[in-house]
């Protein structure tokens, strides 16, 4: 019995060790994505419903019940086309200020949080931004509970305010992805071009969570409501699930997520041997008890909040302006600008407004089906595209995935701009398979250009872009939609497709500029590996029983090799 129980205990211990080493922040990404999936699909539908009820109530003089009955069949009734246009213009114009509220605050908070993450670790900043997101979705729940009596914009502005103060939704996913990137850092060394499996899985989980949120919204949506309470309760249920998923993410992060970053100096591959030689020479020339070292000790002074904020913002600029080999710095800045243009062209709320108009006149159920199908194909693309590229041997696989994905997105935008039937809209979802490659490709392509101690700040820059672009996108594309809604409602999507064509051209230029650097780093990596293998084989021949791992030869402190020789050969 004791032997059997010991075997069971050993199996349980091995399972726990395997789980702890292979899973870290991935469940957090999944739970957050589920919550965001409900928000992305249910919140625009709820906003359209709540604002319609309030506008009909205040402008036409109907009570809440009659206003709800009118809004339940607003898209299918020709007598209320004017009200439909008023509701769409109200939402399109107010979204500009909602995005400004969170975007401006995130631009101030995200740099400080990103620098904090690079200098003090990942877990505490992740908890901070998750707490802000949780409070924000609680405000959205309160909006669904009180929309008949209180204007929803009060709650939505409060939600955007709290989320912006904690770095924004983009930084929330960014710091979670940073934890995964730290775990797979050894596969992001220069000279490699394959997307690491951990990053691909994390991107797939994010897409899968969004898909599950969209699926939940489609199951809760009402096709033809028989009573005015059915849409109301469906939105409340969606908000409750959204809050539950957010609370689960906070609790799991607090108890289960482990720290992955212990700040220390990290360098590029082409500088590693040189820096190790410099450190070795400094150790030989100086001792811990020398007066020069004792005189160099400085006491850290308390900084004012303004100085602290200025230092953190300047640390973000250091990531962009630091000198890097070849065209790397130029390509890094160009890639971030292209990411900005790509996010600028994305505004999913406009698609809902377009499909609510004639000749489509979609219901909430039909729109949720479209979102579900697009999310499913998008998630499959995150897995299929990296697997297909693994069959080919070429440099810059992640860059090629970006080019193909954004090109497919541009084609889908052009098709939406000229669509007149429901079948044409659903046909555009086929391109979502190729668009799914964009996320994992960027998360592999950008971190290769910076060392580990700059990863969080790089993701902070990306989160700033994600916070800034919705403001610009709402200001530009909602204005375009409002101006062109009478003569070409799809004109905004045509402009978005043109912007994505420019991104494809720019990424092609980045690919050509980085190719010589990739070839150089690949050859350098091969030379370093050959050198370490040669050193390891030489030590093995000289000492017989001593076989040192080649990856740790350069990391041995001074005198460690002599101590190991004496311990293995006491004679």
Per-residue tokens: 309 = 């904020």
Give the separation between CA 108 and CA 101, rounded to whole angstroms. Answer: 12
pLDDT of residue 244: 94
Residue 535 resides in a domain: no
Question: Looking at residues 546-558, what average pLDDT do you find?
Answer: 40
**249-259: pLDDT as tens digits:** 999 999 988 88
pLDDT of residue 301: 56
**44-54: pLDDT as tens digits:** 889 988 888 88
Contact 464, 111 (CB under 8 A): yes
Give the pLDDT band of residue 152 (cuts 50, 70, 90).
very high
- Cβ-in-10-Å burial (0-12, 13-18, 19+) of 278 comes to exposed
pLDDT of residue 216: 87
Give the pLDDT band of residue 438 (cuts 50, 70, 90).
confident
Question: Looking at residues 311-315, what average pLDDT do you find?
Answer: 70
Number of alpha carbons in the 13 Å side-chain half-sphere of residue 544: 3
Residue 529 resides in a domain: no
Tell me 80's DSSP state. G
Contact 443, 199 (CB under 8 A): yes
Q: Which residue has the tokens 């020339």?
A: 285
Residue 544 resides in a domain: no
Of 429-433, 508-512, 560-564, which gets the smallest average pLDDT? 560-564
Number of alpha carbons in the 13 Å side-chain half-sphere of residue 250: 16
pLDDT of residue 105: 85
Q: Select, from the ranges 22-36, 57-71, 72-86, 550-564, the one with the highest average predicted confidence (pLDDT).
A: 22-36
Count structural domains, the chain.
1
Is pLDDT of 541 > 50?
A: yes
Residue 7 resides in a domain: no
Per-residue tokens: 115 = 């620098």
Is pLDDT of 552 > 50?
A: no
| All residues at 6 or more sequence positions from 110 whose CB lies less than 8 Å from its CB, including other chains | 167, 168, 171, 460, 463, 464, 467
For 81, other C-beta atoms within 10 Å of its C-beta total 13
End-to-end CA distance of the chain: 46
Closest CA to 184 of 382, 410, 412, 22: 22
What percent of the chain has pLDDT above 70? 75
Residue 569 resides in a domain: no
Give the pLDDT band of residue 407 (cuts 50, 70, 90).
very high
Q: Select, from the ranges 85-99, 109-123, 298-312, 488-502, the one with the highest average predicted confidence (pLDDT).
A: 488-502
Residue 564 resides in a domain: no
Q: Helix H segments across 221-327?
A: 229-255, 269-285, 291-295, 305-321
Question: Looking at residues 382-403, what average pLDDT do you find?
Answer: 84
Is pLDDT of 173 > 80?
A: yes
Closest CA to 425 of 359, 508, 477: 359
Q: Select, from the ranges 47-61, 210-224, 494-508, the one with the highest average predicted confidence (pLDDT).
A: 494-508
| All residues at 6 or more sequence positions from 493 whose CB lies less than 8 Å from its CB, including other chains | 350, 351, 354, 413, 414, 416, 417
Contact 166, 132 (CB under 8 A): yes
Residue 95's alpha-carbon distances to 82, 99, 331, 347, 421, in angstroms, are 20, 6, 33, 11, 27
Give the pLDDT band of residue 78 (cuts 50, 70, 90).
low
**3-28: pLDDT as tens digits:** 555 544 554 444 444 444 578 888 99
pLDDT of residue 389: 83
Is pLDDT of 555 > 70?
A: no
Contact 96, 81 (CB under 8 A): no
- Give residue 132's domain range: 21-262+313-522
The CATH number of whichever domain residue 73 belongs to comes to: 1.20.1250.20
Residue 387 resides in a domain: yes
pLDDT of residue 154: 93
Contact 87, 56 (CB under 8 A): no
Phi, psi (rounded to 5 degrees) for 549: -65, 135
Residue 530 resides in a domain: no
Question: Looking at residues 364-392, what average pLDDT do you find?
Answer: 83
More confident residue, 181 or 151: 151
pLDDT of residue 62: 79
pLDDT of residue 4: 53
More confident residue, 166 or 465: 166
């Amino acid at each position: 019995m004791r032997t059997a129980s010991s075997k069971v205990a050993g199996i349980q211990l091995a399972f726990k060790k395997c789980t702890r080493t292979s899973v870290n922040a991935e469940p957090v990404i999944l739970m957050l994505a589920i919550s965001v999936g409900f928000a992305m699909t249910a919140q625009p539908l709820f906003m359209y419903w709540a604002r319609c009820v309030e506008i009909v109530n205040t402008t036409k003089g109907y009570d809440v019940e009659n206003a709800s009955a009118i809004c339940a069949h607003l898209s299918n009734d020709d007598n209320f086309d004017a009200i439909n246009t008023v509701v769409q213009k109200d939402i399109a114009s107010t979204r500009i200020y909602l995005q400004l509220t969170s975007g401006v605050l995130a631009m101030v908070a995200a740099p400080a949080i990103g620098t904090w993450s690079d200098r003090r670790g990942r877990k505490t900043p992740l908890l901070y931004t998750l707490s802000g997101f949780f409070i924000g979705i609680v405000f959205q729940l309160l909006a669904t509970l009180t929309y008949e009596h209180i204007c929803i914009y009060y709650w939505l502005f409060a939600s955007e305010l709290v989320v912006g103060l904690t770095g924004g939704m983009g930084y929330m996913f960014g710091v979670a992805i940073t934890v995964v990137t730290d775990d797979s850092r050894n596969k992001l060394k220069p000279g490699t071009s394959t997307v690491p499996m951990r990053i691909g899985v994390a991107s797939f989980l994010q897409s899968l969570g969004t898909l599950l949120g969209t699926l939940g919204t489609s199951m809760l949506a009402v096709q033809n409501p028989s009573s005015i309470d059915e849409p109301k309760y469906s939105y409340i249920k969606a908000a409750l699930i959204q809050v539950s998923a957010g609370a689960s993410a906070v609790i799991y992060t607090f108890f289960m997520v482990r720290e992955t970053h212990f700040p220390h100096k990290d360098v590029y591959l082409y500088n590693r041997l040189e820096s190790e030689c410099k450190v070795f020479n400094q150790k030989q020339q100086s001792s811990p008890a020398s007066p020069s070292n004792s005189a160099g000790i400085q006491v850290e002074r308390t900084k004012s909040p303004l100085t602290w904020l200025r230092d953190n913002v300047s640390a973000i600029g250091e990531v962009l302006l630091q000198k890097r080999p070849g065209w790397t710095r130029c390509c890094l800045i160009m890639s971030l600008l292209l990411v900005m243009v790509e996010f600028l062209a994305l505004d999913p709320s406009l698609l809902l407004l377009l499909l609510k108009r004639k000749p489509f006149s979609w219901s909430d159920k039909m729109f949720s089906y479209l979102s579900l199908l697009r999310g499913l194909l998008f998630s499959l693309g995150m897995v299929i595209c990296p697997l297909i590229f693994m069959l080919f041997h070429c440099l810059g696989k992640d860059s090629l995935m970006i080019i193909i994905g954004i090109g497919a997105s541009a084609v889908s935008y052009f098709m939406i701009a000229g669509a007149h039937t429901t079948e044409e809209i659903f046909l555009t979802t086929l391109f979502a398979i190729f668009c799914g490659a964009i996320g994992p490709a960027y998360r592999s392509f950008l971190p290769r250009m910076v060392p580990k101690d700059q990863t969080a700040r790089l993701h902070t820059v990306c989160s700033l872009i994600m916070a800034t672009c919705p403001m610009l996108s709402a200001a530009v594309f909602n204005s375009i939609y409002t101006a062109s809604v009478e003569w070409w409602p799809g004109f905004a999507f045509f402009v978005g497709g043109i912007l994505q064509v420019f991104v494809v051209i720019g990424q092609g230029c980045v690919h050509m500029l980085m190719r010589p650097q990739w070839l150089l780093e690949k050859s350098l990596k091969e030379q370093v590996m050959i050198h370490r293998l040669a050193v390891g084989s030489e030590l093995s021949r000289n000492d017989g029983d001593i076989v040192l791992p080649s990856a740790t030869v350069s990391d041995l402190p001074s005198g460690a090799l002599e101590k190991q020789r004496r311990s293995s050969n006491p004679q």
